């Protein structure tokens, strides 16, 4: 039986269920959750996110930590934490503004309103909206297959450069990518790409 694609993440903090939570333990627990979502950014390979249905709270935390987001027409997004009397603390408030802009992200976080699939695409939260779950799965699989055929070094470097550019100035970003590429000018991937171009064939890259 085919399992539907969902990105519905419920983060239950067991410390909140105790009578007197320790601030130190609570902070440590939150940082652990933050690290678990940041792992998507630290992954050397691109992480593609497929969202079907409700993507609330922790689901948004996970989605915005991925490299590219796609969704089905029935997807709904909500930064829900303010309705639960807490401040979103797993990454949404830090990552969402770079995707949709500071003003839109602030409005979403303060109001906890539900954003539908088409609006999510319009504001830049997702790249593509598929009509249903099957079409979503097929589209994301196609994108993943296309990425897998490219140079792993180039894909990895592009992801690193994009994340670095998000958190640094243009000048710092240019310096970062110049240093990175200078170390890869003698790579086997570059030789294979150039050889394939001249031979008019598809390149075949080794995997990292």
- Write the pLDDT tens digit of every residue in 164-183: 999 999 999 999 999 888 87
Confidence of residue 20 (pLDDT cuts 50, 70, 90): low
Q: For domain 14-148, give the CATH superfamily.
A: 2-enoyl-CoA Hydratase; Chain A, domain 1 (3.90.226.10)
Report the top-level CATH class of 152-199.
mainly alpha
Dihedral (C-alpha) 75, 76, 79, 83: value to the nearest 10 degrees? -140
- Please give the angle made by the CA atoms of 41, 177 and 181, to the nearest 5 degrees: 110
Q: How many CB atoms lie within 10 A of CB 117?
A: 22
Prediction pTM value = 0.78
Q: Exposed (0-12), middle (13-18) or buried (19+): which is 49, by Cβ within 10 Å?
A: buried
Q: Give me the helix-helix angle, 58-65 and 23-42, nearest 10°.
A: 40
Look at the alpha carbons of 66, 72, 78, 84 in this order and tell me if their dihedral is positive or negative: negative
Give the number of other Cβ atoms within 10 Å of residue 161's Cβ: 16
Burial of 130 (0-12, 13-18, 19+ CB in 10 A): buried
Query: Rg of the Cα trace of the chain?
Result: 20
For 138-149, the pLDDT digits (tens) are: 999 999 999 999
DSSP, collapsed to helix, strand or coil, labels residue 88 as coil
The one-character DSSP state at 73 is T
Domain boundaries, the chain: 14-148, 152-199
Q: Sorting pLDDT into bands at 50, 70 and 90, what band is 121?
A: very high
pLDDT computed for residue 197 by the predictor: 75
pLDDT surpassing 50 at residue 55: yes
Detail the DSSP E strand segments found in the chain.
48-51, 54-56, 68-72, 76-78, 115-116, 128-130
| 3-class secondary structure, 56 | strand
Q: Nearest-5° angle of CA 122, CA 126, CA 132?
A: 100
């Amino acid at each position: 039986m085919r399992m539907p694609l969902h990105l519905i993440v419920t983060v239950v903090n067991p410390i909140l269920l105790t009578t007197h939570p320790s601030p130190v333990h609570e902070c440590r627990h939150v940082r652990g959750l933050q690290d678990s979502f940041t792992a998507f950014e630290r992954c050397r390979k691109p992480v593609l996110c497929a969202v079907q249905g409700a993507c609330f709270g922790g689901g948004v935390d996970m989605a915005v930590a991925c490299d590219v987001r796609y969704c089905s027409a029935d997807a709904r997004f909500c930064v829900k934490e303010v309705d639960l009397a807490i401040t979103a603390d797993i990454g949404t408030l830090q990552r969402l503004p770079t995707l949709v802009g500071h003003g839109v992200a602030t409005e979403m976080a303060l109001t906890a309103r539900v954003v539908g699939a088409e609006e999510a695409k319009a504001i830049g939260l997702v790249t593509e909206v598929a009509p249903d779950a099957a079409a979503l799965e097929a589209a994301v699989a196609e994108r993943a297959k296309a990425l897998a055929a490219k140079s792993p070094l180039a894909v990895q470097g592009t992801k690193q450069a994009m994340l670095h550019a998000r958190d640094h100035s243009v000048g710092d970003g240019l310096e970062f990518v110049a240093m990175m590429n200078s170390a890869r000018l003698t790579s086997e991937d570059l030789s294979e790409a150039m050889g394939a171009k001249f031979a008019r064939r598809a390149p075949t890259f080794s995997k990292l």
